[in-house]
Amino acid sequence: MISISHVSKAFARRDGPVVALDDVSLHVAQGDIYGIIGYSGAGKSTLLRLMNGLEHPDQGTVTVADTLISAAPERALRAVRPKIGIIFQHFNLLWSRTVAGNIRLAMQIAGTPRAQIEARTAELIRLVGLEGRAVAYPSQLSGGQKQRVGIARALANNPDVLLCDEATSALDPETTDQILDLLAQINRDFGLTIALITHEMHVVRRICNHVAVMENGRIVEAGAVSDIFANPQSAVTRSLLRTLPDDSADAPNRLVLVYRGAVASEPLLAAAIQKHGLPVTIHGGRTNKLADGPLGELVISVDAAPEQIAAFVTDLNAAGIEVHDV
């Protein structure tokens, strides 16, 4: 779907050129959700902007849906762009249009019939959780609300390809998850191909099947998410992976073990497991260095009789571990 081949791009500056992309190649297949991660200034936004021809490469080619974007005249680009949605890092909303007006614009450009526009606009506003704010102007919105308008606008024309530049960076985790679920669903139902820049690993983990890691204008690592996550090769990737949160909190029949301070570093759970001989599954957990000392949390489930579990919990409590039953 998106084929980037040996692309380089430099920006002229007073004290010499800044190389934003350096011999980058990337292939996004139809239906992929392709994550692009990397440090600030790595060239992610520049790479994304090549994919709809907003920027042209100095060298190399960019092909999207069989159109040679890197060499297409503006007229040809205009024809394919309504099918390539983009969410900008800085939103780029029209201040002169309301929430609804901004969303409508995309459809007006695509020549959607008026009646359809109205229905779709209302639907999109609901999807991004801005009900009741349809007539607000961007200046009356919070940062995250603006970003959601940008998301709705990019989805308006049911694009085949969606380019997201930090599409959820201004959103709280709950809203982020809703939006990501929405994207994943469109991807499943309609085969939407997504290229997605983010600096949040959990976004990659949650919906991407492929990921490319960028550093200094180069792709240092790329491949299936499970491969990269299981076996990170580069220092960048390893460093980025360290920030992943945990999914296990929604495991069924779970117990949450919380231990504070000194307790955190001792092998108390192991001791209890040995003593009771129970089949304990450890779903996940974390040790957090808080300002006032470490705080540990483990999520486990125990496949045993209630009285066995109760004894196990009593022992844990005696050792200074709080156990919450959720």
Ligand X SMILES: Nc1ncnc2c1ncn2[C@@H]1O[C@H](COP(=O)(O)OP(=O)(O)OP(=O)(O)O)[C@@H](O)[C@H]1O
Task: Name residues contacting ligand X, limited to 85-124 (CB under 6 A).
Answer: 89
Site string for Mg ion, 96-125 (x = CB under 5 A): ------------------------------
Q: What are phi and psi of 256, to 5 degrees?
A: -110, 120
Q: What's the CA gap between 224 and 232, in Å, rounded? A: 11
CB closer to its own copies out of 108 and 287: 287
Cross-strand bridge partners of residue 169: none
Options 20, 84, 149, 309; binder of ligand X; rule CB under 6 A: 20
Work out how close the CB of 236 gets to its own copies at its nearest, in angstroms, rounded to a whole number.
8
Pick the stretch among 72-80, 138-146, 203-211, 291-299 that binds ligand X (CB under 6 A).
138-146
User: Out of Mg ion, other proteins, ligand X, none, which partner does residue 43 contact, by CB within 5 to 8 A per kind?
Assistant: ligand X
Q: What's the CA gap between 89 and 104, in Å, rounded? A: 20
CB closer to ligand X out of 169 and 301: 169
**Which element (helix H / strand E) includes 77?**
helix 74-80
Q: What's the CA gap between 283 and 229, in Å, rounded? A: 17
Strands 18-28, 161-165: pairing kind: unpaired
CB closer to its own copies out of 42 and 107: 42
**Do 64 and 72 contact (CB within 8 A), yes or no?**
no
Of 36-65, which residues contact ligand X (CB under 6 A)? 38, 40-46
Work out how close the CB of 82 gets to other proteins at its nearest, in angstroms, rounded to a whole number.
4
How far is C-alpha 272 from the chain's CA centre? 38
Give burial (CB, 10 Å; 0-12/13-18/19+) of 276.
Answer: middle
Whole-angstrom CA distances from 112 to 95, 104, 105, 107 are 22, 9, 10, 5
**Which element (helix H / strand E) includes 49?**
helix 44-50
Angle at 133 between CA 127 and CA 136, to 5 degrees: 130
AA letter at 163: L
Three-class SS state of 241: helix
Structural tokens at position 113: 């019939």
**Do 255 and 249 contact (CB within 8 A), yes or no?**
no
User: Out of other proteins, its own copies, Mg ion, none, which partner does residue 109 contact, by CB within 5 to 8 A per kind?
Assistant: other proteins
Work out how close the CB of 148 gets to ligand X at its nearest, in angstroms, rounded to a whole number.
8
CB closer to ligand X out of 47 and 272: 47
Work out how close the CB of 225 gets to ligand X at its nearest, in angstroms, rounded to a whole number.
19
Q: What's the CA gap between 206 and 42, in Å, rounded? A: 22
CB closer to ligand X out of 42 and 208: 42
How far is C-alpha 265 from the chain's CA centre? 33
CB closer to Mg ion out of 43 and 159: 43
CB closer to its own copies out of 249 and 310: 249
The footprint of other proteins (CB under 8 A) covers 52, 54, 74, 77-82, 84, 86, 88, 90, 92-97, 105-106, 108-110, 137-139, 153, 157
Site string for Mg ion, 29-68 (x = CB under 5 A): ----------------x-----------------------
Of 154-213, which residues contact ligand X (CB under 6 A)? 170
User: Out of Mg ion, its own copies, other proteins, none, which partner does residue 110 contact, by CB within 5 to 8 A per kind?
Assistant: other proteins
**Which element (helix H / strand E) includes 239?**
helix 235-241
CB closer to Mg ion out of 179 and 255: 179
Options 143, 191, 261, 277; binder of Mg ion; rule CB under 5 A: 143
Which residue ranges make up the site for ligand X (CB under 6 A)?
11, 13, 18, 20, 38, 40-46, 89, 139-145, 170
